Every structure is written in C-alpha cells, then in structure tokens.
Homo-oligomer: A and B are copies of this chain.
Amino acid sequence: MNHPTPKVPVPTLERMATYLACLTDLNEKQVQTISSADMEQMTNINAAQFRKDLSYFGEFGRPGIGYSVPELAGRISTILKVDREQPVLLAGAGNLGSALAGYPALRRENFHIVAAFDTDPDKIGSRLWDLDIHDIAQAPAMNRALNAKIGIIAVPAAAAQGVAETLVSAGVTAILNFAPVSLRVPAGVAVRNVDFVQEMAVLSYHLAG
C-alpha cells in the first residue's frame, strides 16, 4: 500500500473485508445475532483479534448479547465504503480482464466495472461481456463522465507502468495491479498488488523435499 497516513493497519482492513463477507452471508440467512466466538469459527480468525480489529472503528456489540448481524454488516460496509456503488475502470481485456469483468462477486459488493480499455489494436473496438473495449488513451476523457476512482490493471508487465500513469491522469486514486511489476505512482495513490506467480512461489517454498 502507498498511502500518506495509514492509521489502520492494512491486515486489519483485510480482515474487516473478511468479516463483512461472512456477515453478508449470515444476513442473507436471516441470522440476527452472533458472538465473537461464532465469528472465529466461521472465519478462522481469533475472536480477540476480531474484537481488536473492530476497536479501531469505535464501539460494537453488547456484552453478553453479542453483535447484531445487520447492524455490524452495515457499519463495516460504511467503513470500507462498499455501501455505495463504486465505478471501476478495467485496463486489460485479455483472459484475466475477462474473468474479472465476468466475476459476479465484485458486482454484488457494489464494484461496477464501467469501462474496459486495452492497448492492443486487435482488441480495441471489440466487446468484453457487455462493455466496449476502448483505447487506454481515451481513459482520461471518458472518466470525466464516469468519475471512477478505482482502476484495475490486468495488462502484461511491460505495459503496466504506462497504463498506471494513464489511469492516474484519468483521476484514479486506487489501483489493483495484477501485473508482476512495482508501479511508481504519486503520493496519495493507493496500490495493491496481486501476483499469481509470487503466490505460487511462496506455496512452493513450503513443499517438502
């Protein structure tokens, strides 16, 4: 993460998103109240850790009663700002971009990919699900109307830095980067990296023999 004043630890934020996913499920099942021990069982995250994570954001739950599922889900949604529709620009309309644009869970959590871009002339002008694929150079002009603050980079490594700069110039301040490179971005732009090869290498290290 690049961020000027990271008050809440990033692992806490990651766990908050996990709690929310769990609470959303419980809400759909009409569960009204849960304890921190229930949460531990569902998320495999220690109950004390759960209580500590919540304490960054105020007072939650009632001693001896527990947590109201709809209330806690609502408050975490507001904290993570996933209680509102969030437009997202997708850069990269290859296999991974297609999988992301077609991923129902993103839409369910209010992340709405509103435009797809690529640098490949063969892709520009064709379709990705219900989206037209535009030239990445058009992102700044198009985003004046779309006003997306989040961008996803799913282009090859060699193109990623240039694409990041275009997204930032389009007004994006948060980037989910799937390209296996360290992006250089201005202060105030948050980046999270997902690197499949890195994940596999860490698993590989843990293999016996």
Contact = CB atoms under 8 A, between A and B. Distances in A.
Contact of A149 (B3, B88, B199, B207): B207
A202 B195 CA distance: 17
A1 B206 contact: yes
A131 interface: no
Interface stretch (A66-74, A105-113, A162-170): A105-113
Contacts of A201: 13, 16-17, 20, 80, 82, 109
A20 B194 CA distance: 16
Interface string A161-202: 000000000000111100010101000001010111111111
A44 interface: yes
Interface residues of A, number: 59
A105 B150 contact: no
A99 interface: yes
B182 A203 contact: no
Interface string A89-100: 000001110111
A141 B14 CA distance: 37
Interface string A30-44: 000000000000111
A49 interface: no
A199 B180 contact: no
11 contacts: A13-B201, A17-B195, A80-B202, A80-B205, A81-B205, A98-B99, A105-B197, A111-B197, A111-B204, A150-B204, A194-B194
Interface of A: 1, 3, 8, 10, 13-14, 16-18, 20-21, 42-45, 79-82, 86, 88, 94-96, 98-100, 102-103, 105-106, 109, 111, 149-150, 173-176, 180, 182, 184, 190, 192, 194-208
